[in-house]
């Protein structure tokens, strides 16, 4: 009798184990299906947005009305930002994809800086129209490549979770994976026209040279620690839902590329593996009517910089687009502004949330400089200006000249005819005008009131 009792107990245990194993397998399968659905959605949205981006740029080239041009350029900026977020949702963190992301960034930077300009007073130049033509052609090539990938994925019923699995192994060659090899083609295509120098509209002096990431210091962190850093930057209470992985071997700096999506919000961040520094951050959500002014938003931006341990930073430019405040900060060394180390922060004007942050230039270039005293005095530098320019304020600054050499200049804010405000960079040793920028109305009013 005992024999049959033991057999019965063992049978029940075996049945229970089988049931538990089935539930465990079913749960893992459900998670895999959910991940696959998320990847498929992000990919098809990316393809759609690049398609729309191409059409919108084409429509811009055909426009004649300046009243319609600014909103159209702003729409292109929005689409490029959303496409960038879509890329962050795909399991490509271990695959070098920086050229495509840089191309999207270049589109966004160029169209944003053009959209916020007063196009009635300063219409698009012939050179800028040529840039738009080139952007249109380039976006068309990427669109075609993505459509090819899409047709292959749908036609062959390929799975993105297989991509994630393939990229997580130690094999350097993934040419047998159709999606990976197809996206490598997209990346190679983007590499032909992602040169930042071609699309820099000159709104601020910027670093275009290749540098080591001198500002990335500290101990290496693991992926869980990186998610904790990202959660704080995203203003989340938990790391649950944050996904991503390490950057590929082609990355210019080892990163954790992380993203999340929740309740209609999405976020994307690059965290350095060394030191756990936030290099870039992008948030997407619906925004309400502005409730904050630029002064309050600037304080939110400065508070965020301090959280990132970026101190001794000075705001040098601000602007407003719709319900977003955009601020540029540079570090100051011995009362000299260092423009190569520039940081951008975007603040939502409805509630003060941080929507964007780009500190790549800072961490790429930041180091202690040996800054020599200027040969010209401030008075001598201002004497070099056009006599119709009224000087409002002057600062010493370090910028990169046309040959990418750091040059000490006097940065002079001045007005002409009491209407137009200019930022003029005069070489502090020779008196040569290195660069002149016209400020938008919003920038001018804000800078004059600070």
Domain CATH number, residue 301:
3.30.310
Which residue in this structure is represented by tokens 């423009």? 339
Does 4 score more than 60 pLDDT?
A: no
- Pair (100, 170) in one structural domain: yes
pLDDT, tens digit (0-9, with 9 covering 90-100), for 377-403: 999 998 888 778 888 899 999 998 766
- Pair (326, 391) in one structural domain: no
352 within some domain: yes
Of the CA atoms within 13 Å of residue 128, those in its CB half-sphere come to: 19
**Strand, coil or helix: 257:** strand
Alpha-carbon distance 425 to 434, whole Å? 5
180 within some domain: yes
- Rounded to 5 degrees, φ, ψ at 282 are -140, 130
Lowest mean pLDDT among 66-70, 238-242, 280-284: 66-70
- Pair (358, 394) in one structural domain: no
360 within some domain: yes
- Pair (319, 353) in one structural domain: yes
Does 27 score more than 70 pLDDT?
A: no
104 within some domain: yes
208 within some domain: no
Q: Which residues, listed in sequence order, are joined to residue 270 by a DSSP beta bridge? A: 257, 280
- Pair (280, 306) in one structural domain: yes
Which residue in this structure is represented by tokens 């996206």? 183
User: How many domains is the chain built from?
Assistant: 3
- Pair (304, 167) in one structural domain: no
Does 123 score more than 70 pLDDT?
A: yes
Tell me the two tokens of residue 186: 């997209």
Tell the burial category of 169 from Cβ atoms under 10 Å away from its Cβ (0-12, 13-18, 19+).
Answer: exposed
- Pair (337, 408) in one structural domain: no
Length of the chain: 450
pLDDT, tens digit (0-9, with 9 covering 90-100), for 138-155: 888 888 888 887 787 777
- Rounded to 5 degrees, φ, ψ at 289 are -65, 145
- Pair (35, 160) in one structural domain: yes
**Domain around 401:** 378-449
pLDDT at 50: 85
Alpha-carbon distance 433 to 379, whole Å? 15
H helices of 63-125, in order, are: 66-89, 98-115
- Pair (128, 35) in one structural domain: yes
- Pair (422, 344) in one structural domain: no
- Pair (260, 188) in one structural domain: no
| End residue of a domain, out of 322, 337, 365 | 365
Alpha-carbon distance 103 to 283, whole Å? 19
Tell me the two tokens of residue 411: 């940065």
């Amino acid at each position: 009798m005992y024999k049959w009792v033991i057999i019965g107990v063992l049978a029940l245990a075996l049945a229970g184990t089988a049931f538990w194993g089935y539930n465990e397998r079913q749960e893992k399968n459900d998670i895999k299906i959910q991940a696959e659905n998320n990847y498929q959605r992000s990919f098809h949205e990316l393809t759609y947005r690049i398609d729309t981006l191409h059409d919108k740029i084409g429509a811009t080239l055909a426009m004649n009305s300046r009243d319609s041009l600014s909103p159209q350029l702003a729409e292109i900026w929005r689409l490029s930002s959303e496409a960038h977020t879509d890329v962050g949702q795909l399991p490509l963190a271990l695959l070098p994809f920086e050229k495509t992301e840089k191309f999207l960034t270049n589109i966004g930077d160029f169209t944003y800086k053009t959209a916020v300009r007063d196009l009635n007073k300063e219409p698009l130049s012939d050179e800028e129209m040529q840039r738009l033509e080139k952007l249109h052609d380039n976006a068309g090539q990427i669109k075609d490549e993505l459509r090819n990938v899409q047709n292959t994925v749908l036609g062959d019923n390929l799975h993105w979770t297989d991509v994630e699995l393939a990229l997580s192994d130690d094999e350097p060659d993934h040419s047998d994976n159709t999606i990976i090899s197809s996206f490598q083609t997209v990346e190679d295509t983007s590499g032909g026209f992602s040169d930042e120098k071609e699309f820099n509209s000159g709104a601020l002096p910027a670093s275009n040279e290749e540098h080591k990431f001198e500002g990335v210091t500290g101990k290496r962190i693991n992926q869980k620690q990186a998610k904790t850093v990202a959660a704080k930057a995203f203003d989340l209470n938990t790391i649950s839902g944050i996904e991503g992985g390490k950057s590929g071997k082609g990355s210019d700096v080892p990163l954790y590329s992380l993203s999340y999506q929740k309740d209609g919000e999405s976020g994307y961040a690059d965290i350095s593996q060394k030191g756990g520094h936030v290099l870039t951050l992008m948030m997407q959500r619906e925004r309400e009517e502005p409730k904050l002014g630029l002064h309050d938003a600037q304080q939110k931006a400065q508070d965020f910089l301090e959280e990132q341990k970026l101190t001794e930073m000075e705001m040098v430019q601000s602007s407003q687009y719709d319900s977003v405040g955009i601020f540029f900060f540079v570090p100051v060394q011995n009362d000299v502004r260092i423009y190569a180390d520039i940081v951008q922060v975007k603040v939502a004007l409805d509630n003060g949330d941080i929507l964007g942050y780009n500190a790549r230039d800072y961490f790429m270039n930041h180091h202690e400089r040996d800054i020599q005293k200027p040969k010209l005095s401030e008075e001598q530098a201002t004497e070099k200006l056009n006599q119709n320019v009224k000087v409002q304020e002057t600062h010493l600054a370090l910028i990169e000249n046309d040959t990418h050499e750091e040059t000490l200049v006097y940065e002079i804010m001045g007005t002409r005819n009491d209407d137009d405000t200019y930022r003029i960079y005069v070489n502090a040793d020779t008196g040569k005008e290195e660069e002149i920028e016209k400020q938008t109305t919003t920038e001018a009013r804000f800078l004059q009131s600070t």
